[in-house]
Amino acid sequence: MKKKKVNLRDLKPNSEEQHSHDDGHDHGDGSAFKTYIPAIISFVMLIIGIAVDYFDAIPQFEGWIRVVWYTLAYIPVGFPVIKEGWESIKKGDFFTEFFLMSIATIGAFVIGEYPEGVAVMLFYAVGELFQNAAVNRAKGNIKALLDVRPNEALVYRDGDYISVNPETVEIGEKVQVRVGEKVPLDGILLSNKGSFNTAALTGESKPDTIQRNEKVFAGSINLDGVIEIETTKEFKDSSIARILDMVQNATARKSKTELFIRKFARIYTPIVVFLAIGVTFLPYFFVEDYVFRDWLYRALIFLVISCPCALVISIPLGYFGGLGAASKNGILFKGASFLDAMTKINTLVMDKTGTVTKGVFKIKEVVNNSTFTNEEFMRYLMAIEEQSTHPIAKAILEYKAEGSDLEAKDVSEIAGKGLSGVVNGKTILVGNKALMTANTIKVPTDTETIVESIVLVAIENNFAGYVVIADELKDDAKETITALNKVGIKNIMMLSGDKDSITQKVASELNIENAKGGLLPEDKLSEVEALKQNPKNKVAFIGDGINDAPVLAASDVGIAMGGLGSDVAIETADVIIQTDQPSKVVRAIKIGRSTRKIVWQNIGLAFGVKAIVLILGAGGLATMWEAVFADVGVAFLAILNAVRLQKMNWS
């Protein structure tokens, strides 16, 4: 899947989304205050002008002096809006909120309603300032990722460590990371072990301990001692760079609601302009005591009320807030469309290994039928397994940290069966039942009832015992299934490439009724496509994002577990669970539902209030002050409602 690349340092929101004449960037304390100065000047001048008008404190405050005063009060907040409207007109886009606000306020000046003209534009400007503050707050969780963008890398070159830009470091170079510094690039740990803060990547504050030769990700903060890593990726391909790229591009993928509102606003605004013209002139033909100024005033009120700011601002802000809240919780959505899609899911299909299990094999049981002690039995077994790279061999070797003190010779692999070799002068066979049968070694029948992976051992052609190897359930696996049922996901299915007996056992432990094992990737794809044949099924698939890429792509929502270090997961899935916790899927559903609920609350609020005040305005029962509330007031309330997403708790 090809993605549009963006400058990671540029977090400026789309201008159409923001609908603001502000640049949208974060400012320092000084420049942030400067953005409020025009509104403060206009507000002070407006209050002084209204006070002088009301108390008649200065008799000379009339005529051209009054006009100049209110014009000067209008310019600081009105000029930027008029300029934006003019720029839009030059581009062929006449009917924008900038155009509506400019016409309405200039019209108010034409008919002598100077204070109201200034007030409308002032409150509009204040609403824009609140909007920008809300957008910056909603983006805070995503912008926080920039704080962990490494600025330098200590790379070993020409016999010494030198500080360079991480973008210049090549794959395979050795990098040193000191205590408190950020890991600059993805790599493999060369030191014995390291402790890292991965909160910016996973949302989890708990330190992560990494052992020698295990993966370390860019953006992690080294907590304990100086470490060395060998880089495995260039900076542009590092985890933090790809995550930033993905999250920042998420706003480009609009939800259907956003797309509808934007199209609606383009049709709705010109209709409103022509209706306002009608409100001004049509009464001339039907009303006996027609007064042009009165009907023009009503039309101007109509224009202010009808400005679609509340919709255009609050809906994208609501979705952006949802994306930010999800990011804070270690969940990355590739766009607002998937926030919506998560709310419609009614069928969940999941992989087993790495999704609900840890994907790490461990010895569950050692059964020794030989004359050797358990310690001696494991020494012989480990000596053979030290020659293997199989995951099960790794699990066996973890039995004793220092490994076996015996050396295996003449080790050979029998394809699909196991290993053979000589240890301490004795012939050792390690593998499955097929290996034992091929060497006419009788295996106890009780081994046939064991559903987990089993490693059989023969010493000198005599059955010596076996080791049971099992994958462990993740800590939150059981509660995830219960929580999914509570949020209405009743149809849950497990598909696994592991043997069916193991799959059924895990499914039984998790109370999943529908499970199938022994499946190839194409078999999983067929199962999901069969579910999608029913148009009522909205299917989400959760997998590790590597072997399950075809199914992730085919499902309505593809969710990658532990996709932090997986290129395939980042590229293929629609949602990335950074913490590798299946329970975060439930949280993703809840965040999607909360976001959608707030968006529709804002739509109902905006349409409801505007409809009422429009009718009152057309009938002459509403003034510019009610119009200001219907426009800026409703937009402000919608913004406050959207910001609530940042404070919600979905645990």
| Predicted confidence (pLDDT) at residue 239 exceeds the cutoff of 80 | no
Q: For the chain, give the mean pLDDT.
A: 81
pLDDT band at 149 (very low <50, low <70, confident <90, very high): low
**pLDDT tens column, 72-115:** 999 999 999 899 889 988 888 777 778 877 887 888 888 888 88
571/589 Cα distance (integer angstroms) = 21
pLDDT at 103: 82
| Predicted confidence (pLDDT) at residue 162 exceeds the cutoff of 60 | yes
463/455 Cα distance (integer angstroms) = 12
The phi, psi pair for 443, rounded to 5°, reads: -110, 135
* CA atoms 369, 375, 377, 378: torsion sign: positive
Pairing of strands 208-211, 357-368: unpaired
Q: Which of 331, 393, 353, 354 is nearest to 590 (CA)?
A: 331
pLDDT band at 32 (very low <50, low <70, confident <90, very high): low
The backbone region for 180, taken as left when phi is positive above 0, alpha when psi lies in -120 to 50, beta otherwise, is left
Q: Which region among 76-85, 158-167, 195-204, 482-491 has the lowest average model confidence (pLDDT)? A: 195-204
**What are the DSSP calls for 176-197, one per residue?**
EE-TTPBP-S-EEE-SSEEEEE
Mean pLDDT of all residues in 609-616: 81
In sequence order, what are the residues at sequence separation of 6 or more whose Cβ sits closer than 8 angstroms to the Cβ of residue 289? none
Check if the beta carbon of residue 81 is closer than 8 Å to that of residue 101: yes
Q: Report the catalytic residues.
A: 351
pLDDT at 466: 95
| Predicted confidence (pLDDT) at residue 311 exceeds the cutoff of 60 | yes
| Predicted confidence (pLDDT) at residue 565 exceeds the cutoff of 60 | no
From start to end of 415-490, where are the E strands? 418-423, 426-431, 453-459, 462-473
pLDDT at 62: 81
> What one-letter code names the amino acid at 429?
L
**pLDDT tens column, 346-377:** 999 998 877 888 877 888 899 999 989 999 99
Six token digits for residue 434:
């097929």
Q: Which region among 11-25, 149-163, 517-531 has the lowest average model confidence (pLDDT)? A: 11-25
What is the rounded radius of gyration, in angstroms, for the C-alpha atoms of the chain?
33
pLDDT at 142: 52
In sequence order, what are the residues at sequence separation of 6 or more whose Cβ sits closer than 8 angstroms to the Cβ of residue 292? 280, 284
45/52 Cα distance (integer angstroms) = 11
183/227 Cα distance (integer angstroms) = 10
pLDDT at 348: 96
